[in-house]
Chain A
Amino acid sequence: MNNLQHFWQMVYKDIRLEWRMKHAIGGMLLYVISTVFIIYSSFIQLNPKEWNTTFWIVILFAALNANAKSFSTEPPERNLYYYSIVDPLSYILAKLIYNSLLLIILSGVTILVYFFFFGNPIREITLFVTALGCGSFGFSVVFTFISAISMQAKNSALLIPVLGFPLVLPLLMTLIKISASGLALLSDTSVWQDVGLIVAIDLVLVSLLIFLFPYIYKA
């Protein structure tokens, strides 16, 4: 089998695994709904600014929940086994693509739940969806990297937010600013420049992830 086939096999394996553990995916959906419900019962009515901020915080924690476990669902021996039969590049890319697909679906669900509870304040849908896509992808890159690192350390449950949050903060701040323009909260003529910045950060982080992963996984 060549690398491309390996890659698709790994993605397919992750999807099937997720499908079999329905409690995990159900748990994530329930997380989104219950968080939004908590926000609803504490705010009752959200103005667009609060809508924007709380939305991105829900996405951030969804990313943490969905991607942090990417290397810890399977026993370490099996990870080692994958590593010995698949080359690191296909392995990490499969994990990354799977994680970002999962997060993008979760973001879609979150936004639907938000529409249902709080209505739709979005003015520029293209801008908002672009920000959501690029943002989810960026979060996935960072959290995939962090979960690969922390699975080898002790108390990894504590390590993931500690290592990951400072790294996603610049991304998050820029995203909140972009989607504030999407909600017409502020008018910014150079907002697409910010989108370009997010894309650039994403690309740099992906190439670092690909470059550094073999070293992390050597053990």
Chain B
Amino acid sequence: MTWWKYICIVLILLTTAAGILIPLKPGLHSVSQSSIKTGEQITFTVQGYNTYFEEAKNNRAWLRIGSDYQILASNHTPLSEQLLEVTFSIPPFLPIDKEATATTLIVDNAIDGAMVLPSAVFITQIDDWTPKGIEWWQKNPLENITINDKVSFPNRNILEETIRNLFFHVTLWFAMFLMFLISAIYSLMYLVKGDPMYDTKAYSITQTGIVYGILGLVTGAIWAKFTWGQYWSWDVKQNMTAIAMLIYFAYLILRNSVEDLDQKGRLCAAYNIFSFVAMIPLIFVIPRLTDSLHPGNGGNPGLGSEDLDNNMRMIFYPAIMGWFLLGMWASQLYRRYETIYQKHLEDANQM
């Protein structure tokens, strides 16, 4: 039975390559001007990411208020592929009855498609004449928008390139959870049937699961350094997973403090099942009840349908499968090594 090992190799190679090589969707990173007054003529530069401002000749930029009002830039000069200089003549009045408002910057060209930067520029109004403002702000409607249908990953604020961590960090957690589940099932089968083979299987799978858990914490911490600013920020998800790791370390300690093989098997199997069930609210329920910085909580981008597009799904699910199979493979090797080692000990004792 080796076919699943080939599947495992193929899945991991393919998903890793795709996860690293597929580019991020072109997007807007920042602008050089953050606030303007009405009635001014203003020129500022837009910093793009993965964009082709020079190659695509027909750049167009809008400043948009709400979903109805926008003005078109009067001049667009690409300084480089990543830098675009735009000039806006801000009308003397705003279309809404407010002193100041945030506007969304939209840039469109034939290669990159439409790119959006929310709250890019703040406009402060000096005089206020709303009907006239509406007239000004509706002259150039948003039209002929290009749709970029190249294969790419979503370009999101803050996450940016670290969105690729989905294929490594998150898949490790899913694979780890699957492995702990299988280990708990083997422990249950050991208690019911009493065959020591099940106990060895449960033990080896738990060990690989612990390695995956540590890797998951490390990849998460590196990701957190880039997005949250520090490796460990006492976030509820970090705490809970650290506790889950403590539980499984305790399992290893228990395993080493019982000598009788049969007794060791029964106690560890019972603790394994108990701790697996105790871990479920730890990882899946409690983090949902409290605020967290982690993606998927409190308005942070996560695994919701809006954040995970189809390209990512097509890599994410096979990647979970691949890492899970790799874990099972490692456990199998460990179990074989352990069996041979036990055999060796027995032979040595007989001599």
Chain A residues with CB under 8 Å of chain B are 142, 145, 149-150, 152-155, 159, 162-163, 165-167, 169-170, 173-174, 177, 190, 193-194, 197, 200-201, 204-205, 208-209, 212, 215-216, 218-219
Most A C-beta atoms less than 10 A away, residue of B246, B254, B257, B285: B257
Does the CB pair A208–B274 fall under 8 Å? Answer: yes
- CB of A149 within 8 A of CB of B286, answer no
CB distance from B192 to the nearest CB of A (A): 9
CA distance A68 to B243 in the complex (A): 21
Is B211 close to A, CB under 8 A?
no
B250 within 8 A of A: yes
Of residues 276 through 327 on chain B, the ones whose CB sits less than 8 Å from some CB of chain A are 277-278, 281-282, 285-286, 289-290
Q: How far is the CA of A194 from the CA of B267 in the complex (A)?
A: 31
* B254 and A197 within 8 A (CB): no
Q: Which residues of A contact B263 (CB under 8 A)?
A: 152, 219
Identity of the chain B residue whose Cβ is nearest the Cβ of A194 in the assembled complex: B289
Contact residues of B between 248 and 286, Cβ < 8 Å to A: 250, 253-254, 257-259, 262-263, 266-267, 269-271, 273-275, 277-278, 281-282, 285-286
B266–A215 touching, CB < 8 Å:
yes
Does B182 belong to the interface (CB within 8 Å)? no
Complex formed: what's the CA distance from A152 to B270 in Å?
13
B240 interface residue per 8 A CB criterion? yes
With A149-B267, A152-B263, A215-B270 known as contacts, the answer to whether A162 contacts B250 (CB < 8 A) is yes
Q: Could you tell me the distance between the alpha carbons of A216 and B263 in the complex, rounded to whole angstroms?
A: 8
Query: Is chain B's binding surface mostly helix, strand, loop or mixed?
Result: helix
Contact of B275 among A153, A167, A200, A201 (CB under 8 A): A167
A64 to chain B, nearest CB (A): 15
What residues on A are CB-neighbors of B290 within 8 Å?
Answer: 177
Give CA–CA (A193, B289) in the complex, Å: 9
Given contacts A153-B258, A166-B246, A197-B281, contact A212 B273 (CB under 8 A): yes
Given contacts A170-B240, A205-B278, contact A154 B270 (CB under 8 A): no
Question: Given A166-B250, A170-B278, are A216 and B286 also a contact pair (CB < 8 Å)?
Answer: no
- Cβ of B270: which chain A residues have Cβ within 8 Å of it? 149, 212, 215-216
- CA–CA, A190 to B288, complex, Å? 12
CA distance A219 to B267 in the complex (A): 11
CA distance A153 to B270 in the complex (A): 13
Contacts A/B (CB < 8 Å), 27 sampled: A142-B278, A149-B267, A149-B270, A152-B263, A152-B267, A153-B258, A159-B253, A162-B250, A163-B250, A163-B254, A166-B246, A166-B247, A173-B239, A173-B286, A197-B281, A197-B285, A197-B289, A204-B277, A208-B274, A208-B277, A212-B273, A212-B274, A215-B266, A215-B270, A216-B267, A219-B262, A219-B263
**Contact (Cβ within 8 A) A174 B286:** yes
Min CB distance B284 to A, Å, is 11
Given A149-B270, A170-B281, A216-B270: A162 touches B253 (CB 8 Å cut-off): yes
Q: Least Cβ distance of B195 to chain A in Å?
A: 14
